[in-house]
Amino acid sequence: MQVVRMKAERRTALGRNQVAQLRAQGWLPAVVYGEGKEPVSIAVSEWEMEQHLKAHHKVFQLDIAGQAQAAILLDVSWFATQDRPQHADFKRIDLTKPIETEVEVALVGHPAGLAKGGTLMKDHLVIKVRCLPTEIPDHIEHDVSKVELDEVVTASQLSMPKGIELLTPGTTSICHVAKMVVQALPDAAPAGPAEGAAAPAAGAAAAAPAAPAKDQKPAKG
């Protein structure tokens, strides 16, 4: 995986109002932690961060006030009502030491079992691996064109690139082709005798004249 450079500024704005002003100026609040050092609050360009997210970049060389710091992007939180990042978490790393991270599995091909009444069920398309930060694959491809009906693809069947160690248990189901079951809706049940009898009774009650109230005199005819 490509190591990309990104400029960051040390952040002193920590209060809600200060952070809001920071965002209004185009900065995204973030934090860098790990490697036994104190966390450092930083700010990066929101626009630049969005471009890296679109390109699926995860490994960065952060330039924090002139000092280089290798880090991996662990998490980005988003506003619930806006399509904007709210905060980013980076973890310090050593580019020469393996790390544990997650990688997506990309399924390619058209499963053979689909022609026999099956449907492709995607169970776990994110796996955990260990490798050098510079060797993190963008994704792991797996051809499912030969997967038959009721057949399961497990993590152990994935072809791992050189230098990538699979940490997810090998028995974990990545996907499977299940038989599609179509259930017919039950017919509407006819009204029972009780329901049929209730309707005339209710109509008769409505047609009967109301009895005069206790303290009310009947009208003279």
pLDDT at 97: 95
Answer yes or no: do 115 and 163 share one domain: yes
What confidence score (pLDDT) does residue 176 get?
Answer: 97
Give the structural domain span for 26.
Answer: 3-95
pLDDT in tens, 80-105: 888 899 999 999 999 999 999 999 99
Q: Give which of 68, 61, 75 is closest to 31, Cα–Cα.
A: 75
Residues 114 and 175 grouped into a single domain? yes
So what's the pLDDT on residue 183? 67
Does the residue 126 lie in any domain?
Answer: yes
pLDDT of 187: 66
Residue 138's CATH number:
2.170.120.20
